[in-house]
Amino acid sequence: MVDVKSLSSRWSPRLLSVMRIVTGFLFIPHGSQKLFSFPDTSKAAVEWFSLMGLAGALEFFGGLFILFGMFTRPVAFLLSGQMAFAYFMAHASKDFWPILNRGELAVFYCFVFLYLVAAGGGAWSLDRLFKRHA
Protein backbone atom coordinates (compact mmCIF):
# COMPACT_ATOMS: atom_id res chain seq x y z
CA MET A 1 0.00 0.00 0.00
CA VAL A 2 1.25 3.49 -0.85
CA ASP A 3 1.96 5.74 2.10
CA VAL A 4 0.40 8.98 0.85
CA LYS A 5 1.89 11.11 3.63
CA SER A 6 5.42 9.88 2.86
CA LEU A 7 4.88 10.31 -0.86
CA SER A 8 3.55 13.81 -0.32
CA SER A 9 6.42 14.89 1.92
CA ARG A 10 8.96 13.57 -0.59
CA TRP A 11 7.41 15.03 -3.73
CA SER A 12 5.90 18.35 -2.54
CA PRO A 13 9.21 20.30 -2.63
CA ARG A 14 10.02 18.85 -6.06
CA LEU A 15 6.61 19.59 -7.51
CA LEU A 16 6.83 23.11 -6.07
CA SER A 17 10.03 23.49 -8.09
CA VAL A 18 8.35 22.12 -11.22
CA MET A 19 5.50 24.61 -10.81
CA ARG A 20 8.01 27.44 -10.28
CA ILE A 21 10.06 26.44 -13.34
CA VAL A 22 7.01 26.16 -15.61
CA THR A 23 5.63 29.47 -14.32
CA GLY A 24 8.93 31.26 -14.97
CA PHE A 25 9.23 29.67 -18.42
CA LEU A 26 5.71 30.77 -19.36
CA PHE A 27 6.17 34.26 -17.86
CA ILE A 28 9.41 35.19 -19.66
CA PRO A 29 7.80 35.56 -23.15
CA HIS A 30 5.42 38.21 -21.80
CA GLY A 31 8.47 40.37 -21.16
CA SER A 32 10.40 39.38 -24.28
CA GLN A 33 7.42 40.34 -26.46
CA LYS A 34 7.36 43.79 -24.88
CA LEU A 35 11.12 44.35 -24.91
CA PHE A 36 12.32 42.51 -28.02
CA SER A 37 9.15 41.80 -30.05
CA PHE A 38 9.99 38.12 -29.63
CA PRO A 39 8.34 35.67 -30.02
CA ASP A 40 6.87 37.10 -33.17
CA THR A 41 4.46 39.93 -32.54
CA SER A 42 2.97 42.54 -34.81
CA LYS A 43 3.80 45.27 -32.30
CA ALA A 44 7.13 47.06 -32.09
CA ALA A 45 9.20 46.75 -28.94
CA VAL A 46 8.24 49.25 -26.25
CA GLU A 47 10.45 52.03 -24.95
CA TRP A 48 12.57 50.61 -22.10
CA PHE A 49 12.07 53.72 -19.94
CA SER A 50 8.29 53.62 -19.92
CA LEU A 51 5.66 51.90 -17.81
CA MET A 52 5.39 49.09 -20.38
CA GLY A 53 9.19 48.89 -20.54
CA LEU A 54 9.34 48.49 -16.78
CA ALA A 55 6.63 45.81 -16.99
CA GLY A 56 8.58 44.04 -19.73
CA ALA A 57 11.82 44.14 -17.72
CA LEU A 58 10.07 42.79 -14.62
CA GLU A 59 8.43 40.03 -16.66
CA PHE A 60 11.56 39.03 -18.58
CA PHE A 61 14.21 39.28 -15.88
CA GLY A 62 11.85 38.41 -13.03
CA GLY A 63 10.72 35.38 -15.02
CA LEU A 64 14.36 34.30 -15.40
CA PHE A 65 14.92 34.62 -11.65
CA ILE A 66 11.76 32.61 -10.97
CA LEU A 67 12.77 29.99 -13.55
CA PHE A 68 16.09 29.39 -11.81
CA GLY A 69 14.75 29.86 -8.29
CA MET A 70 17.07 32.75 -7.48
CA PHE A 71 15.85 35.27 -4.89
CA THR A 72 12.50 33.56 -5.34
CA ARG A 73 10.62 35.16 -2.44
CA PRO A 74 11.46 38.85 -3.07
CA VAL A 75 11.17 38.51 -6.86
CA ALA A 76 7.83 36.69 -6.54
CA PHE A 77 6.63 39.47 -4.21
CA LEU A 78 7.46 42.11 -6.84
CA LEU A 79 5.87 40.10 -9.64
CA SER A 80 2.72 39.42 -7.62
CA GLY A 81 2.34 43.16 -7.08
CA GLN A 82 3.04 43.85 -10.73
CA MET A 83 0.33 41.41 -11.79
CA ALA A 84 -2.18 42.94 -9.38
CA PHE A 85 -1.29 46.39 -10.75
CA ALA A 86 -1.57 45.12 -14.34
CA TYR A 87 -4.98 43.63 -13.64
CA PHE A 88 -6.40 46.85 -12.23
CA MET A 89 -4.73 49.06 -14.86
CA ALA A 90 -5.54 47.03 -17.97
CA HIS A 91 -8.43 44.69 -17.21
CA ALA A 92 -10.68 45.56 -14.27
CA SER A 93 -12.24 48.63 -15.85
CA LYS A 94 -13.49 46.60 -18.84
CA ASP A 95 -15.73 44.23 -16.90
CA PHE A 96 -16.08 42.73 -13.43
CA TRP A 97 -15.48 39.12 -14.51
CA PRO A 98 -11.89 38.17 -15.42
CA ILE A 99 -13.15 35.81 -18.15
CA LEU A 100 -14.78 38.81 -19.86
CA ASN A 101 -12.08 41.41 -19.23
CA ARG A 102 -9.28 39.01 -20.33
CA GLY A 103 -7.53 39.37 -16.98
CA GLU A 104 -7.45 35.70 -15.98
CA LEU A 105 -3.73 35.31 -16.57
CA ALA A 106 -2.89 38.39 -14.52
CA VAL A 107 -4.99 37.11 -11.61
CA PHE A 108 -3.57 33.60 -11.91
CA TYR A 109 0.06 34.80 -12.04
CA CYS A 110 -0.60 37.18 -9.14
CA PHE A 111 -1.66 34.34 -6.87
CA VAL A 112 0.95 31.84 -8.07
CA PHE A 113 3.64 34.42 -7.30
CA LEU A 114 2.01 35.16 -3.96
CA TYR A 115 2.19 31.44 -3.17
CA LEU A 116 5.88 31.41 -4.11
CA VAL A 117 6.49 34.27 -1.66
CA ALA A 118 5.27 31.98 1.13
CA ALA A 119 6.58 28.64 -0.18
CA GLY A 120 9.96 29.62 -1.64
CA GLY A 121 11.67 28.02 -4.60
CA GLY A 122 11.45 24.37 -3.68
CA ALA A 123 14.01 21.59 -3.76
CA TRP A 124 15.44 22.38 -7.18
CA SER A 125 16.30 26.06 -6.86
CA LEU A 126 19.43 28.18 -6.75
CA ASP A 127 18.13 29.59 -3.47
CA ARG A 128 18.37 26.14 -1.91
CA LEU A 129 21.75 25.43 -3.50
CA PHE A 130 23.24 28.69 -2.19
CA LYS A 131 21.73 28.14 1.25
CA ARG A 132 23.31 24.71 1.41
CA HIS A 133 26.76 26.12 0.57
CA ALA A 134 26.55 29.20 2.79
Give the range of the structural domain holding residue 89, as residue numbers without chain letter: 4-133
pLDDT of residue 43: 81
pLDDT of residue 1: 65
Would you write out the chain's pLDDT as a tens digit for each of its 134 residues? 678 788 788 899 999 999 999 999 999 999 999 999 999 778 888 899 999 999 999 999 999 999 999 999 999 999 999 999 999 999 999 999 999 999 999 999 999 999 999 999 999 999 999 987 75
Task: Count up the domains in the chain and report the number.
Answer: 1
pTM, two decimals, is: 0.91
Closest of 90, 88, 87 to residue 107, by C-alpha: 87
Q: Report CA 14 to chain centroid distance, whole Å.
A: 17
Instruction: For residue 38, give the DSSP letter.
Output: T
